[in-house]
Amino acid sequence: TVLVVDFGAQYAQLIARRVREARVYSEIVPSTMPVAEMLAKNPKAIILSGGPSSVYAEEAPSLDRSLFESGVPIFGMCYGFQLMATTLGGTVDNTGAREYGRTQLTVSKNSSTLFEGTPVEQTVWMSHGDACSAAPEGFTVTASTDLVPVAAFENDEKRLYGVQHHPEVMHSTYGQQVLEHFLYRGAGIEPSWTTGNVIDEQVAAIRELVGTKRAICGLSGGVDSAVAAALVQKAIGSQLTCVYVDHGLMRKGETEQVEKDFVAATGVQLRVVDAEERFLKALAGVSDPEEKRKIIGREFIRVFEQAQAEIIAEAGSEGGEPVEFLVQGTLYPDVVESGGGTGTANIKSHHNVGGLPEDLEFKLIEPLRKLFKDEVRMVGQELGLPEEIVQRQPFPGPGLGIRIVGEVTKERLDLLREADAIAREELTAAGLDREIWQCPVVLLADVRSVGVQGDGRTYGHPIVLRPVSSEDAMTADWSRLPYDVLGRISTRITNEVDEVNRVVLDITSKPPGTIEWE
């Protein structure tokens, strides 16, 4: 394991991902973790992340000097670099000279462990106020910039390395190479980690944990729950039952994809609950977005709980093994963000899940809690899940219910399903699926406009296309799709979907617009 010590400001997750891209397993730990605890994890190397503080700020996080004397190879980046400098007796000045963004780095010693084979002049990403002016004793300065005399240093004997910039950021052209030089050369680690190891490890661990007992898993149709279920299925086979609630708000072909393709690929026992009527009844006459969301959320939980309770009752009445485990598709970013990044156990007890009897204690199985999203997709692929499931773009839980502006009815859903299927088909055919984050297709059910088709006047509804590009859905930009693709989608939707006589394009970024319309 390589430990990434998190000094805040989101850099740690990116570093951990880059380390794994170098095929070395990494985990994030908070900077408040005592050094003894870090060392107890037997790390092969430690990386100190950047962070928002100045090393001179009063509350600035620090590190005990003993870490640098432990013999474990250490790589400090940005804040981590300055902390290494000050802790070991170098000088960091509050110069007031800020470097932010793309910066030219001059490598002064490219025979160095970190920079060997990279150009003397290279672009790096900087984000700092203080600057290091003198390296600690025993260290060689290996790079500088116009404003920073000591922009990188290393001490090969003690296996301590540092750079002022952010090698984990894409804009640092040789960043990944510098990181790999540290891992392979500086720390002498063999790159061997793959998602394949994850499958074997998890399958063995889940088998041992579950024994002969049973587990259940809710499938949403999304990537995470599908991969989690497939992994657990591989471990315990028919001891797992999956529940899928069809609320009638799915897109065309999605329920069939879960019912047929997912089952065909995994052989999982699946219980599909057809709840369309129930959802449409509950949604009748409602057009307020928040109210729709509440109704859909509430009904979903009720239906899901009922199915769970039935499975548990059936298991009991057959005198079989009790249902003791619940599978969830929690990912590593959720774990880190909820402060659980240090936990190594992938199993924890959970009381009173979703309204089941209070005395029923479920144990959670979260086989993906150490993985990033792209790694989950790789695991899915290795497990043989269909491409359509593994590469699925995000889709909101409330489904098409929040893509009809106005009341949700069966007729409107069918109409939107058709329009959405056409847009998806054309985007896929144009090879744009990986380029866009997602493309909601929205029906403005309460709006009508005049058109002309054949030789008659029409009075139909508009369809909105909302293609966006994004990294994490927190912010987004509208995607500049090729005109010919947009043209084909528009022509086909107006020709093939009754009651739609106009297609419009949403060109709002987020903020101010959200990705979904409701």
Residue 126 CA to residue 132 CA, distance in Å, equals 13
Cβ at position 483, least distance to ligand XMP in Å? 25
CA 391 to chain centre: 13
Tell me the per-residue interface mask from 438 to 467 with ligand XMP, x by CB under 6 A, - otherwise.
x-----------------------------
Cβ at position 284, least distance to ligand XMP in Å? 20
Q: Which stretch binds ligand XMP (CB under 6 A): 39-47, 380-388, 391-399, 418-426?
A: 391-399
The residue type found at 73 is P
- Whose Cβ is closer to ligand XMP: residue 367's or residue 399's? 399
398 binds ligand XMP (CB under 6 A): yes
Burial class (CB in 10 A: 0-12, 13-18, 19+), 242: buried
One residue of 97, 204, 473, 507 binding ligand XMP per CB under 6 A? 473
Residue 113 CA to residue 304 CA, distance in Å, equals 56
CB neighbour list of residue 495: distance below 8 Å, 6 or more residues apart: none
Q: Which stretch binds ligand XMP (CB under 6 A): 57-65, 375-383, 393-401, 450-458?
A: 393-401
- Whose Cβ is closer to ligand XMP: residue 114's or residue 250's? 250
Site for ligand XMP in 52-81 (CB under 6 A): none
User: Which residues, in sequence order, are bridge partners of residue 241?
Assistant: 216, 269
Q: Which stretch binds ligand XMP (CB under 6 A): 64-72, 185-193, 335-343, 394-402?
A: 394-402
- Whose Cβ is closer to ligand XMP: residue 176's or residue 514's? 514
Question: Is 78 among the residues known to form the active site?
Answer: yes
CA distances (Å), origin 92, targets 84, 128, 145: 10, 12, 15
Q: Is 450 annotated as a binding residue?
A: no
CB neighbour list of residue 514: distance below 8 Å, 6 or more residues apart: none
396 binds ligand XMP (CB under 6 A): yes
Q: Is 226 annotated as a binding residue?
A: yes
CB neighbour list of residue 23: distance below 8 Å, 6 or more residues apart: 191, 192, 193, 194
The residue type found at 512 is P
Cβ at position 294, least distance to ligand XMP in Å? 10
CA atoms within 13 A on the CB side of 322: 6
Q: Which stretch binds ligand XMP (CB under 6 A): 78-86, 129-137, 155-163, 390-398?
A: 390-398
Q: Is 66 annotated as a binding residue?
A: no
Q: Is 221 annotated as a binding residue?
A: yes
Contact present, 238 and 269 (Cβ < 8 Å): yes
CA 262 to chain centre: 22
Cβ at position 6, least distance to ligand XMP in Å? 25
One residue of 52, 397, 406, 451 binding ligand XMP per CB under 6 A? 397
373 binds ligand XMP (CB under 6 A): no
Catalytic residue among 128, 165, 166, 461: 166
Q: Which stretch binds ligand XMP (CB under 6 A): 151-159, 262-270, 479-487, 510-518?
A: 510-518
- Whose Cβ is closer to ligand XMP: residue 333's or residue 397's? 397
Q: Is 146 annotated as a binding residue?
A: no
Catalytic residue among 27, 99, 168, 426: 168
One residue of 34, 343, 394, 482 binding ligand XMP per CB under 6 A? 394
489 binds ligand XMP (CB under 6 A): no
Among 461, 455, 364, residue whose Cα is nearest residue 407: 461
CA distances (Å), origin 134, targets 73, 171, 252: 21, 26, 63
Burial class (CB in 10 A: 0-12, 13-18, 19+), 261: middle
Residue 305 CA to residue 356 CA, distance in Å, equals 7
Question: Is 128 among the residues known to form the active site?
Answer: no
Residue 406 CA to residue 177 CA, distance in Å, equals 53
Phi then psi dihedrals of residue 40, to 5 deg: -65, -20
Q: Which stretch binds ligand XMP (CB under 6 A): 189-197, 392-400, 409-417, 423-431?
A: 392-400
Question: Is 168 among the residues known to form the active site?
Answer: yes
Among 467, 464, 402, residue whose Cα is nearest residue 434: 467
Query: What secondary structure letter does DSSP report for 136?
Result: P
- Whose Cβ is closer to ligand XMP: residue 210's or residue 515's? 515
- Whose Cβ is closer to ligand XMP: residue 175's or residue 396's? 396
CA 389 to chain centre: 15
Tell me the per-residue interface mask from 309 to 348 with ligand XMP, x by CB under 6 A, - otherwise.
----------------------------------------
Q: Is 220 annotated as a binding residue?
A: yes
Cβ at position 293, least distance to ligand XMP in Å? 6
Tell me the per-residue interface mask from 401 to 440 with ligand XMP, x by CB under 6 A, - otherwise.
-------------------------------------x--
- Cα-Cα-Cα-Cα dihedral sign, residues 342, 345, 350, 353: positive
CB neighbour list of residue 338: distance below 8 Å, 6 or more residues apart: none
Contacts with ligand XMP: how many residues (CB under 6 A)? 10
Cβ at position 297, least distance to ligand XMP in Å? 8
Using omega within 30 degrees of 0 as the cis cutoff, is the peptide bond preceding 512 cis? yes
Instruction: Specify binding-site residues for ATP.
Output: 220-226
Annotated binding-site members: 220-226
Q: List the catalytic residues.
A: 78, 166, 168
Chain residues in the site for ligand XMP (CB under 6 A): 394, 396-398, 438, 473, 510, 514-516
